[in-house]
Amino acid sequence: MILLSFALLFMGFAGLSLAMKRHYPQLQPIMEKNSQQRSKQVIIAIRLLAYSCLLTGLFFCINSQGISIGFVFWLGLLTLAALLQAMLLSYRPRWVFGFGLMLLGCTLFSVI
Amino acid sequence: MSWLHTWGGLSVGWLLYFMFITGTAGYFVSEIDYWMQPEMPHLNESAEHGQLLLLAEQHLSRKAPTAKSWRIYLPSERERTLKVRWQDGDGRHKDILHPVSGDVVNVRDTGGGGQLYGMHYRLHYMPRTVAFIITSLCGMFMLIALITGIVIHKKIFIDFFTFRPGKKQRSWLDMHNILSVLPLPFHLMITYSGLIFLMFTTMPAVFIASYGVEEEGQQRFRSELRSTPIPIKATGNRMSLTSLPELLEKAEGSWGQGNVSRVSIEHPGDSQARITLQKRRVDQVSDEQKLIYHGVSGQLLSAVDEVGTSASKSFYALMIRLHIGEFAGTVLRWLYFLSGLMGAGMIATGMVLWANKRRTKADKSGHASKGLILAEHLNVGTITGLPIAIAAYFLANRLIPLGLENRAEWEVNILFITWASMLVYPAFISKFKQVLAAIWVQQLTLASMLYLMLPVINMITTNKHLGVSLLTADWVRAGFDVSMLIIGLCFGVAAFKMQLKKQSAKSQGTAKGAQQTVPTMLAKDVSP
């Protein structure tokens, strides 16, 4: 559950940075080349999706750890996920989504 | 605001760094204790808790029949031994018992993780009250620095993930922001709750106003605060204690198997003896439950259930428990540790930023102030000097002869002697600012060597080294040794990268290159 929630938080942060002016060009090569200009709606949609990822992460934390520890856990995981996201964006921006997918894959694997 | 952030942070920054590093080590206090007591057997099993209580009682009544109080700590997931403490006319004593046979485990005299972690609020070489006031003051400065930091950081969300390496001052500021903003909930919580922890020392007037200054009122206050009944007086009539396993059974009936963490007995053997059973707190962040029995008749005197009794007390308890993180399992414990390290990093980058900014100006004007030089020396002597001192503390644990008097105290002395020499050393060497970079490299190298040496020295001096711990699945000891190797490698990489930068700066040959200061070089090396 913790791994799943971590994967969700990481993907959430990846989504948030994708919706940011500064980081979009860094992540862009793996997106469609001709989507230079993104419409406002797309950005809002990405943001909503990202925030719902973060909240779903909170849900899974609380679900597995109880409300008090779950919340503390969520904050701790948020810190780790954001740190990883920041370091990847600085040094290996292209790995961001690969890493996120890998995390989700690991989660699926551990569930099975 | 900016002024307040800069100078408020700077004035106590080195002490705060010390508090963050030693406090963070405290999240692994039991694990460090275990490593620092290599005589402690690696245990997978323990006898039934009722049986353990009997063993502990036998031991205590043999060793301290007339003690004022006994405390028996039952084994848990993290602390697998049976611990007994007692208090008599000579003070407090402690024994560690084997959780199957009940025999005393003779461990070396060491301060262990508890000493290291305790230093983050009670410092050392000074009375507690003084230390509490100093650390509280630091905490207040920290809180001010955090809040002003939030206010002056105009682009928290835009800069959220931003780290631009290789851009000198810019990179340091980015890193400072990342280390501050990402674990911000932790930073605020730990600083605020730290202040709450010591509030009865720093703001005694508040409770004195209601409870008075007399000892009786103080006692009543402490008793209400800790949910402990007011201490009783012994009558002097000797009577034998009721059966502890029976009480345990009663308590476990309502709390569940294995959920009693501690049994305390006041005035054991007296006709007015009192027995308190405390519930293990692992399932919730905030809750405290106790059952108090009469020590002779075994009658239930009162049941303390802190849940929802008083809002202010619940809040106080919540803050304390969030601060200590006792409830955290392995993963959450590492997350706490990470946030703590990031806090130390936040302080370190802040100090380097301060010095770096002034160094750039000083290089232009050709005149460096005494304050700047002092700050640069304190930076290198603390940021790398303190980790070196902690490595020395661990080494001292293995190398000081076992029979030495005040051995535990000498371990701490060695920590502070090492730190002091790291602080003083640059003052003797660096007559020129160009040498400062070399001192950083030297100290980083020294730190790396010491941490890498730890598992080796452990191998030479004990039989609980990696070769054994890995084979016998003694994960805590193995984890400690491996962590030391990783820390050593990190310092090694930092030293190596800084050496490269130093050389490239030299080979450029320009005055500018030669004068390039440490922080700008380090900036590129914060991460690979």
Backbone angles phi, psi at A62, to 5 degrees: -65, -40
Q: What is the pLDDT of residues B98-121, one digit of tens each?
A: 988 888 999 899 999 999 999 999
Residue B512: pLDDT band by 50, 70, 90 thresholds?
very low
> Which of A4, A11, A72 to substitute to test the interface with B, most B CBs within 10 Å?
A72
CB contact under 8 A, B161 and A13: yes
B447 pLDDT exceeds 80? yes
Q: Are residues B5 and B142 in the same domain?
A: yes
Give residues with Cβ within 8 angstroms of B428, minimum separation 6: none
- Which of A68, A79, A86 shows the shortest C-beta gap to B163? A86
Q: Are residues B412 and B512 in the same domain?
A: yes
Distance of CA B200 to the CA centre of its chain: 21
pLDDT for B526 equals 43
Q: What is the pLDDT of residues A24-82, one digit of tens each?
A: 777 766 555 555 566 788 889 999 999 999 999 999 999 999 888 999 999 999 999 99
Judging contacts by C-beta atoms under 8 Å, the chain A residues touching residue B327 are 69
d(Cα B32, Cα B479) in Å, to the nearest integer? 10
d(Cα B45, Cα B422) in Å, to the nearest integer? 44
Judging contacts by C-beta atoms under 8 Å, the chain A residues touching residue B183 are 79
d(Cα B113, Cα B25) in Å, to the nearest integer? 8
B349 located within any domain = no
User: In this complex, is the C-beta atom of A76 within 8 Å of any C-beta atom belonging to chain B?
Assistant: yes
Give residues with Cβ within 8 angstroms of B93, minimum separation 6: B64, B85, B86, B87
Q: Are residues B265 and B322 in the same domain?
A: no
d(Cα B175, Cα A86) in Å, to the nearest integer? 10
Angle between helices B169-181 and B330-365 (to 10 degrees): 150
The average pLDDT across B131-157 equals 94
Q: Are residues B435 and B419 in the same domain?
A: yes
User: In this complex, is the C-beta atom of B328 within 8 Å of any C-beta atom belonging to chain A?
Assistant: yes
pLDDT for A35 equals 55
Query: Which two structure tokens, joined as six digits, stand for B54?
Result: 């009997």
Range with lowest mean pLDDT among A102-111, B141-150, B390-399: A102-111
Q: Are residues B162 and B251 in the same domain?
A: no
pLDDT for B528 equals 33
Nearest alpha-carbon partner for B515 in B354, B365, B349: B365
CB contact under 8 A, B160 and A80: no
Q: Are residues B379 and B265 in the same domain?
A: no
B521 pLDDT exceeds 50? no
Q: Are residues B138 and B160 in the same domain?
A: yes
Contact of B82 with B74, CB cutoff 8 Å? yes
B395 located within any domain = yes
Residue B416 CB neighbours (<10 A) = 15
CB contact under 8 A, A68 and B332: no
User: In this complex, is the C-beta atom of A69 within 8 Å of any C-beta atom belonging to chain B?
Assistant: yes
B222 located within any domain = no
d(Cα B254, Cα B267) in Å, to the nearest integer? 26
pLDDT for B331 equals 94
The average pLDDT across B132-144 equals 96
- Which residue does chain A place closest to B287, by CA atoms? A68
pLDDT for B283 equals 55
At residue B25, what is the residue type? A
B319 three-state secondary structure: helix
> Which residue is associated with the tokens 């984890």?
B479
> Which of B161, B164, B342 to substitute to test the interface with A, most A CBs within 10 Å?
B161
CB pairs under 8 A between A and B: 73
d(Cα B75, Cα B420) in Å, to the nearest integer? 39
The average pLDDT across B209-229 equals 83
Residue ranges making up the domain that contains B287: 44-106+228-308
d(Cα B109, Cα B96) in Å, to the nearest integer? 12
Contact of A93 with A14, CB cutoff 8 Å? no
Nearest-Cα distance to chain A for B183, in Å, is 5
User: In this complex, is the C-beta atom of A98 within 8 Å of any C-beta atom belonging to chain B?
Assistant: no
Contact of B303 with B288, CB cutoff 8 Å? no
Q: Are residues B518 and B407 in the same domain?
A: yes
CB contact under 8 A, B163 and A89: yes
B275 three-state secondary structure: strand
Contact of B389 with B412, CB cutoff 8 Å? no
Q: Are residues B98 and B114 in the same domain?
A: no
User: In this complex, is the C-beta atom of A86 within 8 Å of any C-beta atom belonging to chain B?
Assistant: yes
d(Cα B119, Cα B22) in Å, to the nearest integer? 7
Angle between helices B475-508 and B434-461 (to 10 degrees): 160
Domains in chain B, number: 3
B355 located within any domain = no
Q: Are residues B31 and B69 in the same domain?
A: no
CB contact under 8 A, B332 and A76: yes
Q: Which 3-state string (H, E, C) describes B17-48? A: HHHHHHHHHHHHHHHHHHHHCCCCCCCCCCCC
Q: Are residues B429 and B528 in the same domain?
A: yes
What pTM, to 2 d.p., does this model score? 0.90
The residue among B26 and A40 whose pLDDT is bigger is: B26
pLDDT for B516 equals 44
Q: Which long-range contacts (CB under 8 A, 24 or more apart) does B429-432 make?
A: B430/B377
CB contact under 8 A, A79 and B183: yes
Q: Is the ipTM of this complex over 0.85?
A: yes
Q: Are residues B172 and B199 in the same domain?
A: yes
Nearest-Cα distance to chain B for A90, in Å, is 6
The CA-atom distances, in angstroms, between A45 and each of A31, A32, B156 are 16, 17, 22
